[in-house]
Amino acid sequence: MASGNAIRGSRVGAGPMGEAERGESAPRLRISFWCSNGHETQPSFASDADIPETWDCPRCGFPAGKDQDNPPDPPRTEPYKTHLAYVRERRSDADGEAILAEALAKLRGEI
């Protein structure tokens, strides 16, 4: 059986949290931001804070702007490239043939 002097569901220092204990809250502004998918988010800012031009949409992650009719474009995602694709960007087929011929010559002991 539990002891009779324990207060259940409470902790030391717990109590009602009201304006008297916390102090006055800062004046806030709610600014609307819209993403390219039409989602609206309204984060709140302190009235004296610098408001950013863009805000990340919490629903889709795209950047959101303050102009509903002209939201920022979604970021362009680059497709995954293999190592071979990067090599082909740097070298022509003729360069590849020359490098292959040199490597084969080394293996054969001709160089």
Give the pLDDT of residue 12. 64
Give the pLDDT of residue 88. 87
Count: domains in the chain: 2
**Position 36 pLDDT exceeds 70:** yes
Burial status of residue 63 (CB atoms within 10 A of its CB: 0-12, 13-18, 19 or more) = middle
The residue range of the domain holding 41 is 28-65
> What are the φ and ψ backbone dihedral angles of 22, each rounded to 5 degrees?
-85, -25
pLDDT in tens, 54-96: 999 999 999 999 999 999 998 888 889 999 888 888 988 899 8
Of the given ranges (12-16, 41-45, 59-63, 72-76), which has the lowest mean pLDDT? 12-16
| Structural domain includes residue 54 | yes
| Structural domain includes residue 11 | no
| Structural domain includes residue 18 | no
Q: Which residue has the tokens 């919490």?
A: 58
**Residue 35 marked as a ligand binder:** yes
Chain centroid, CA 29 distance in Å:
24
**Residue 83 marked as a ligand binder:** no
Q: Are 55 and 63 in contact (CB under 8 A)?
A: yes
What CATH number is given to the structural domain containing 49?
2.20.28.270
**Position 6 pLDDT exceeds 90:** no
Q: Using a CB cutoff of 8 Å and minimum separation of 24, what contacts does 95-100 make?
A: none
**Residue 38 marked as a ligand binder:** no
**How far is residue 10's CA from residue 12's CA, in Å, rounded to a whole number?**
7
